[in-house]
Structure 1
Amino acid sequence: MSPPFSPILSVQPTRALVDEKLKVVVENLPPGSPVTLHSLHHSEDEDYWEAYGHYVSDFRGIVSVAEDLSFGGTYTGKEDMGLLWSMRPVPGSRKGLRLRKMNICSPLLFNISVYSGHVTEGFREETPLTSALIERWYMAPGVKRIDIRERGVRGTLFIPPGPGPFPGLLDMWGGGGGLIEYRSALLASHGYVSLAMDYFRSQELESAELEFKYFETAFNIIKEHPQVNPDRVGIFGLSLGSLVTMHVAAESTIVKPRCCICVSGSHFYPHDRTLKEVIMEPMTNSHRVRVDENNHHIWRDLWKELLSDPSKKVDVGKINCPILLVNGQDDQNAPADECAEDIAHLMNAAGNGHLLTRVLYPDTGHLIEPPYSPHCRASNFRVAAVAEKTVTLLWGGQTKPHSDAQEDSWKKILSFLQQNLYSSTSPRAKL
């Protein structure tokens, strides 16, 4: 039986970048009416993800997600973006899932619905009072996507709309390998020519020397692009990509990044070993890997042991550009907070500590993604160096503080890039 009212759902904007906020309002409800707002996403992996909040309409018959409290659901309190960041696999889903967008030429689609009463399960079997479909994009209109197969480098280049010249970024992900494009697409949407680089598949990189030259070549491909300002090129790395970022910034005689961003990273890099050999460390020393009560692998302690061995670390005292470290205190994959402390100590001792900016977030794990991405505490992980080896890694973090950290750190990252790649002056090392 239909309710004696017709609620009106407004979700604005209906099409936006993933880091833009939503305004969700339901009108024309009876005053004091309990309702559930629900979001549903069907992933590229054919899995369903959902989030929901329980609300009560005010005296005008209105619910505003930005202004009203959620009294229950996957998030509580006044959370304007809770319908996105608190998403989780629907009950009965496969284990170890992580939501990531691989085809950035299409949007993430979310169905926002309103249900009568405070519903906690069986959403797909219930008929909503009203629904709206929204699009969330990593790639803004006008951004160009170009496959790169040049000088042995494989990746994807994203170029902002307009003639340029623009600042440039070399963008590197972690030990899972593959070509991950979504952060580069989002960076291009904010005005940076960004090269998402695949650096694990190449069979030619069988020595540390060849591997190092690969990163230098990739940096120069960006630097030499006609739409890039060659004096304003930085490096952005997450996890293993952060390790590479620091290594190249410290040791290269031809690559001079204007700035570096390292998210959830360490500075462990034995100079005579390839990255595949480095990432094999947990596999060859599995007896030192801890597991939690769910048999999720915890790698942070294994890497932590290397802090006392200077031969296993990047000489960060050689870095002569501004560097931003973004880490979580509950990172269970790498001792990122301890590494940040050690990096600060080493840089201060070398006289370049003024170039270092550190941001540390409590109850935040390893996978610090662009804002409003669902928090992933643990997921299946295929080690790129061992194609047949898959484990479930504990990344860490608690959903609400981790999500807050993703939003805050992205603002700080964009501000850091603006200051160092767009402004007329940025700090350098004291010569």
Structure 2
Amino acid sequence: MSQVVPPILSVLPTRALVDETFQVQVENLPPGSPVTLHSLHLSEDQHYWEAYGYYFSNYQGTVSVSDDLSFGGTYTGKEPMGLLWSMRPVPGSRKGLRLRKMNVCTPMLINILVYSGHEGFRDQAPLVSVVTERWYMAPGVQRIEIREKGVQGTLFIPPGPGPFPGLLDMWGGGGGLVEYRSALLASRGYAALALNYFSAGERQSAELELKYFETAFNLIKDHPQVMPDRVGLFGLSLGSLVSMYLAAESTAIEPRCCVCISANHTYPHGLTISGVYRELSKNFHLVRVDENNHVIWRDMALAVMSDPSNNLNVGKINCPVMVVNGSDDQNWPSVESAEDIAVRMRAAGKDHLLTRLEYPDAGHLIEPPFSPHFRATNFIESITKEKVIMLWGGQSKPHADAQEDSWRKIQSFLQLHMYSSPGPRAKL
């Protein structure tokens, strides 16, 4: 009597950084058999996330996620990383969840499972499973908590003697200390300071606030493992506004370059960040909700931005700038903002410093590659302090493509301007 050979599942590499691809392959299946490949992750806040694809084994009894088509599930077609980027909370989870790594010193553990058939796979035992590790922090990266000169943050230093280029890394209006992008940037060769700024206490004046950011920038610049003339700015949403504000208005620092995701340059003169939000609140009547009661800020922000005096004079920027945005951004008018930035820099003779990336059907939260897409998530509204579900926008597949493509181009931009010989700068 012939013995049934169990299927073999391989996930290579089993341990990788989150921006690296993997190969998922199942062998020893009956030829032409339907199987479901399922990824499952338990987040640090104890919520389960999953993705799955429906496949048919070939005549050799093999399924390769990189080479074969998914005929259904959370993604379709040939999607080598669909088991990651299409992850969503399992059915029955509470609404508005967002998957974010809080402890970057441990990996994301993703369980890859194989089931027979397509329908009802959750009710059966898997044929085979493998656990794979996804890391934001490469071996040898140093993580250093910063509580110095009033600055709150976490500095990540790449492995090796250095010196390295540095980046001041700033997230958006959700506040708090968010480390995972900085850890990944350090894994790619940049000393990155994840800065806590929005919820680190309101500063009394715009001058004191500017001083806080300048002090943070100089903490990186003066670190013995950092190249002092190669420190840049990296921001998303509100963080992109701070990056542009520093590049345009600060006379105390000279950023090497700026990366601004979901561009924002609306910063009425003389206001603190909290003051900017108070200015926004004057148009709070323009906030809309969609059919799911998700909050849309876009029109409120557009009303403030439409007054030219409320926007930064980005024509004063003298370093290379990369602006990244999605055309379906429902939180901020980042398309209009990017266009106005381009107009202002062109008028100042600085258009050679600007690189623009715009992605159709991508939303506001453009994160490192293979991160799940979050169209709407829970958010404490900065103006009303109410807990709402904020609409960020985007469609899963185009947003995933935008994250993968933009990260690759951001790495090229940083390599060019931070590691190469001096990049283009405007004549002063």
TM-score band by shorter chain is over 0.9
Q: Check the 8 A contact 2:280/2:304 in 1, yes or no.
A: no
**Secondary structure class of the residue paired with 1:427:** coil
Q: Check the 8 A contact 2:176/2:200 in 1, yes or no.
A: no
2:419 to 406, 416, 422: 422
Q: Structure 2 regions of 5+ residues with no counterpart?
A: none
Counterpart residue identity of residue 423, structure 2: S
Counterpart residue identity of residue 21, structure 2: K
Match of 1:54 in 2: 54
Q: Quick check: 1:66 aligned with 2:78?
A: no
Q: Quick check: 1:174 aligned with 2:205?
A: no
Task: Identify which range, 71-80 or 300-309, moves more after superposition.
Answer: 300-309
Write the mapping of 1:31-430 to structure 2, written as runs, cut at 5 A. 31-119=31-119, 121=120, 123=122, 125-203=123-201, 205-281=203-279, 283=281, 285-383=283-381, 388-430=385-427
Counterpart residue identity of residue 390, structure 1: K
Task: Identify which range, 27-36 or 281-290, moves more after superposition.
Answer: 281-290
Q: Check the 8 A contact 1:268/1:312 in 2, yes or no.
A: yes
**Secondary structure class of the residue paired with 1:38:** strand
For residues 93 and 311 of structure 1, the distance between their equivalents in structure 2, rounded to whole angstroms, comes to 45
For residues 4 and 284 of structure 1, the distance between their equivalents in structure 2, rounded to whole angstroms, comes to 70
**Secondary structure class of the residue paired with 1:256:** coil
Measured at CA, do residues 385 and 295 of structure 1 come closer, stay the same or move farther in structure 2, by a change above 3 Å? closer
Q: Check the 8 A contact 1:166/1:193 in 2, yes or no.
A: yes
Distance apart, 1:204 and its partner CA: 5.6
Q: Check the 8 A contact 2:331/2:392 in 1, yes or no.
A: yes
- TM-score normalised by L of structure 1: 0.97
Q: Check the 8 A contact 2:281/2:383 in 1, yes or no.
A: no
Counterpart residue identity of residue 144, structure 1: Q
For residues 200 and 47 of structure 2, the distance between their equivalents in structure 1, rounded to whole angstroms, comes to 31
For residues 34 and 72 of structure 1, the distance between their equivalents in structure 2, rounded to whole angstroms, comes to 11
Count residues in correspondence.
Answer: 426
**Secondary structure class of the residue paired with 2:79:** coil
Distance apart, 1:405 and its partner CA: 0.4
For residues 295 and 373 of structure 1, the distance between their equivalents in structure 2, rounded to whole angstroms, comes to 25
Task: Identify which range, 199-208 or 48-57, moves more after superposition.
Answer: 199-208
Distance apart, 1:402 and its partner CA: 0.3
Measured at CA, do residues 270 and 49 of structure 1 come closer, stay the same or move farther in structure 2, by a change above 3 Å? same
Q: Check the 8 A contact 1:200/1:384 in 2, yes or no.
A: no
Q: Structure 1 regions of 5+ residues with no counterpart?
A: none
Identity of aligned residues (%): 70
Q: Check the 8 A contact 2:284/2:300 in 1, yes or no.
A: no
**Secondary structure class of the residue paired with 1:258:** coil
Q: Check the 8 A contact 2:324/2:356 in 1, yes or no.
A: yes
Where do 4+ consecutive residues of structure 1 move more than 4 Å?
Answer: 280-284
For residues 283 and 47 of structure 2, the distance between their equivalents in structure 1, rounded to whole angstroms, comes to 34
Counterpart residue identity of residue 185, structure 2: L
**Secondary structure class of the residue paired with 1:109:** strand
Measured at CA, do residues 181 and 385 of structure 1 come closer, stay the same or move farther in structure 2, by a change above 3 Å? farther
Distance apart, 1:202 and its partner CA: 3.0
**Secondary structure class of the residue paired with 2:69:** coil
Deviations 1:146-187 (A, max 9, x none): 000110000000000111000000000000000000000000
Q: Check the 8 A contact 2:202/2:274 in 1, yes or no.
A: no
